[in-house]
């Protein structure tokens, strides 16, 4: 891997690692949602963080990391699944924002059920996506480049 590509890959890997707690927070927020309580403050805060921290990282990977991986692996076919999961992550976050009720901090039980399902779905996509990146993209870095 050329030096410039390795530098970009290292930077994105550091961001990838730093975002792991945010990904785990998706599941934690879903676990804590209560149909009877209906407090959506934690969901709003999570979505704000996903939009501010996660989406810019995923867009940077799409724009910077995937071309590096395509060059290293000899074409766009190996990165198609990664690109698709980037699009799906963005879609799911937009969908969660749309179904989050605008009125007050409380929600109807059906809103909570929809939000919980969406959060668990996003968490599953993120788990798959991160595994794909670690196996197919970040594994291209020399062993000394990846922290243990």
- pLDDT digits over 35-72, tens only? 776 678 899 999 999 999 999 999 999 999 999 988 88
CATH number, domain with residue 38 = 1.20.120.520
| Interval 113-127 mean pLDDT | 95
Q: Is 148 a domain residue?
A: no
Q: Is 95 helix (H, G, I), strand (E, B) or coil?
A: helix
Is 14 contained in some domain?
A: yes
Whether 67 is covered by a domain: the verdict is yes
pLDDT bracket for residue 12 (50, 70, 90): very high
Mean pLDDT on 119-140:
91
Q: Evaluate whether residue 146 is within a structural domain.
A: no
Do residues 8 and 18 lie in contact, with contact meaning Cβ atoms separated by under 8 Å?
Answer: no
pLDDT value at residue 148: 45
In a domain, 77, yes or no: yes
Classify residue 71: in a domain, yes or no.
yes
Judge whether residue 147 has pLDDT over 70: no
More confident position, 107 or 17: 17
Alpha-carbon Rg for the chain in angstroms: 17
pLDDT at residue 104, rounded to an integer: 60
For residues 2 and 22, what is the distance between their CA atoms, to the nearest angstrom?
Answer: 31
pTM above 0.85, yes or no: yes
Task: Write down the pLDDT at residue 78.
Answer: 73
What's the total number of domains in the chain? 1
Among 137, 143, 144, which Cα is nearest to 9's?
Answer: 137
Is residue 145, in this structure, part of any structural domain at all?
no
pLDDT higher for 40 or 30? Answer: 30
What token pair was written down for 107?
A: 């929600």
Q: Provide the residue range defining the domain that includes 43.
A: 3-140
Q: How many H-runs (helices) and E-runs (strands) does the chain carry?
A: 6, 0
Nearest to 132 by CA among 93, 92, 80: 80
Q: What is the mean pLDDT of residues 11-40?
A: 90
Looking at residue 39, its pLDDT comes to: 79
Within a domain: 24: yes
39: phi > 0 → left, psi -120 to 50 → alpha, else beta; which?
beta
Model pLDDT, residue 29: 96
**CA end-to-end span of the chain:** 20
């Amino acid at each position: 891997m050329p030096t410039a590509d390795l530098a970009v890959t290292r930077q994105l890997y550091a961001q990838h690692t730093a975002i792991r707690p945010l990904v785990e927070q998706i599941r934690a927020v879903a676990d804590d949602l209560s149909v009877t309580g209906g407090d959506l403050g934690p969901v709003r805060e999570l979505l704000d963080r996903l939009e501010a921290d996660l989406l810019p990282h995923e867009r940077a990977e799409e724009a910077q990391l995937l071309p590096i991986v395509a060059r290293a692996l000899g074409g766009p076919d190996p990165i198609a699944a990664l690109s698709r999961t980037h699009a799906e992550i963005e879609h799911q976050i937009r969908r969660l924002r749309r179904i989050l009720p605008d009125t007050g901090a409380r929600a109807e039980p059906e809103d909570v059920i929809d939000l919980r399902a969406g959060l668990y779905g996003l968490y599953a996509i993120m788990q798959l996506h991160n595994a794909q990146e670690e196996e197919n993209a970040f594994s291209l870095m020399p062993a000394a480049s990846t922290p243990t």
